[in-house]
């Protein structure tokens, strides 16, 4: 029996501590982990909870992030509730096993403190690792602040373990900007949190010797296609389950979440689409511009995978000009979020003007002032009746202004 942990109605937690508390309250059976900045405190705290008797679990220290996710796969296949954490290069080392976890339909929860990928080496936050995992077959949830990091982690267990889903789930937060920033958090009691997540339901556990099962079988061309199609269908069908669980969590906490969050979008003419902590920056900018008579709004995908094409299309259908903010180096292409949003809008009748801003790489600051500038640039497009700048620009870059894919098309 786990020791009683004292928790207040209002706590001051950073994002990492908030996520670790969610792991404790969910009574995770196994955490296999290897430390990496800025995610280390998540699993370090879990190890402390185990050592102090606050949780009846196992903390497995391994030799790499590849081994960490491999350990999680084994523990989940054996029938345990399993989680871990990582960032950046550690995430990159996990990638091979991420595909194993999703292909085996194991509901592992991976908490990610998003950080830039080397080289050059950088420990600060951007979304390079989030984007790296976007096609690995995992559900991806995004937290914009510390309280949301807590909430999304609890929801992740219930979503991934749902019998109509059975898929792994990543919960993302911005490295340092959220992971290490202390904010007010209104946690559930241990009883409420565990009651929401529920007891773990084993499905095809390998340790049930009365019913032998196989994981990681080889299929080749005869059955591989069918397996991947079923996996994709489960991922797309999870959208309904995510909505239901967000609604259930909202009734419990009075904190409502949606797969796409919209702010001031009822009559917006110009909008920014963003992820992570920058969403709150853009919201402040939109509020200030509203006071100046500019109809600005913000759209934020809470669920990056499965990507909510229909909800994005609906949220932006009446907007005239849109800036998509990508906090990751595009690597010779348009930003990933820009591509997703553009694809969602391509078949709409309105066909709004869409531009791409690469910003905040390696933790570069993104200010309300800069968000307002981007909004006003969209207003200039609307006034001119066409895009007046390069479609893709770097925002906040020192030195010469760089833009790509020039256009004057109306």
On average, the pLDDT of the chain sits at 96
What is the mean predicted confidence (pLDDT) over 10-20? 98
Q: In the predicted model, is pLDDT for residue 154 greater than 70?
A: yes
Q: Would strands 139-142 and 109-114 be described as parallel, antiparallel, or unpaired?
A: unpaired
Q: Is 379 left (phi over 0), alpha (psi -120 to 50) or beta?
A: alpha
With beta carbons less than 8 A apart as the criterion, state whether 41 and 206 touch.
Answer: no
Give the containing element (helix H, strand E) for 31.
strand 30-33
Q: Which domains does the chain carry?
A: 11-253 (3.40.50.970), 260-404 (3.40.50.920)
Q: In this structure, are residues 305 and 390 in contact, taking their beta carbons and an 8 Å threshold?
A: no
Q: What average pLDDT score do residues 404-410 get?
A: 61
Question: What is the structure's pLDDT at 103?
Answer: 97
Name 113's bridge partners.
173
Residue 119 clears pLDDT 80, i.e. is over it:
yes
pLDDT > 70? residue 206: yes
| Among 171-180, 212-221, 231-240, 398-407, the least confident range | 398-407
Has this prediction a pTM greater than 0.85? yes
Output the pLDDT for position 408: 53
Residues 17-25, mean pLDDT to the nearest whole number: 98
Decide: residue 354, CB within 10 A, 0-12 exposed, 13-18 middle, 19+ buried.
buried
pLDDT in tens, 121-132: 999 999 999 999
Pair type for strands 392-395 and 403-404? antiparallel
Is residue 271 classed as helix, strand or coil in its secondary structure? strand
pLDDT band at 96; cut points 50, 70, 90: very high
pLDDT at 217 over 70: yes
Q: Which pLDDT score, from 0 to 100, does residue 1 have?
A: 61
Per-residue pLDDT reduced to its tens digit, 28-74: 999 999 999 999 999 999 999 999 999 999 999 999 999 999 999 99
Q: What is the pLDDT of residue 410?
A: 41
Q: How far apart are CA 276 and CA 264, in angstroms?
A: 18
- For the segment 18-34, the average pLDDT, to the nearest whole number, is 98
**298-357 tens-digit pLDDT:** 999 999 999 999 999 999 999 999 999 999 999 999 999 999 999 999 988 888 999 999
In three-state secondary structure terms, 24 is helix
Per-residue pLDDT for 406 more than 80?
no
Residue 20 has pLDDT above 80, yes or no: yes
pLDDT digit string (tens) for 252-275?
A: 999 999 999 999 999 999 999 999
pLDDT for 50 equals: 97
Confidence of residue 409 (pLDDT cuts 50, 70, 90): very low
What does the DSSP 8-state code read for residue 212? -
């Amino acid at each position: 029996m786990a020791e009683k942990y004292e928790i207040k109605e209002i706590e001051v937690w950073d994002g990492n501590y908030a996520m670790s508390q969610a792991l404790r309250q969910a009574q995770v059976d196994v955490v296999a982990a290897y430390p990496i900045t800025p995610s280390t405190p998540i699993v370090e705290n879990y190890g402390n909870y185990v050592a102090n008797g606050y949780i009846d679990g196992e903390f497995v220290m391994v030799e790499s992030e590849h081994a960490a996710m491999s350990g999680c796969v084994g523990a989940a296949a054996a029938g345990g509730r399993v989680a871990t954490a990582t960032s950046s290069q550690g995430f990159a080392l996990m990638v091979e096993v991420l595909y194993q976890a999703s292909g085996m339909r194991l509901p592992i929860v991976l908490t990610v403190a998003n950080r830039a990928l080397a080289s050059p080496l950088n420990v600060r936050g951007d979304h390079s690792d989030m984007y790296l995992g976007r096609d690995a077959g995992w559900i991806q949830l995004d937290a914009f602040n510390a309280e949301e990091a807590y909430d999304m982690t609890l929801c992740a267990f219930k979503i991934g373990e749902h019998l109509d889903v059975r898929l792994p789930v990543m919960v993302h937060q911005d490295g340092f900007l959220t992971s290490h920033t202390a904010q007010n958090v209104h946690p559930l009691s241990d009883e409420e949190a565990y009651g929401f997540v529920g007891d773990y339901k084993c499905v095809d556990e390998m340790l049930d010797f009365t019913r032998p099962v196989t994981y990681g079988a080889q299929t080749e061309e005869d059955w591989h296609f069918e397996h991947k199609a079923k996996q994709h269908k489960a991922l797309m069908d999870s959208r309904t389950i995510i909505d239901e669980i967000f609604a259930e969590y909202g009734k419990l906490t009075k904190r409502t979440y949606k797969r796409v969050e919209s702010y001031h979008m009822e009559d917006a003419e110009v909008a920014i689409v963003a992820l992570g902590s920058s969403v709150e920056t853009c919201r402040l900018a939109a509020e200030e511009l509203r006071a100046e008579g500019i109809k600005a709004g913000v759209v934020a995908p809470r669920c990056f995978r499965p990507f909510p094409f229909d909800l994005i299309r609906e949220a932006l259908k009446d907007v005239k000009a849109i800036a998509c903010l990508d906090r990751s180096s595009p690597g010779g292409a348009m930003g990933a979020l820009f591509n997703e949003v553009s694809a969602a809008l391509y078949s709409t009748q309105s066909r709004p003007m869409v531009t791409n801003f690469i910003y905040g790489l390696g933790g570069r600051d993104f200010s309300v002032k800069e968000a307002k500038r981007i909004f006003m640039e969209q207003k200039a497009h609307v006034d001119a009746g066409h895009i007046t700048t390069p479609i893709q620009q770097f925002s906040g870059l020192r030195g010469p202004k760089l833009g790509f894919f020039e256009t004057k098309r109306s």
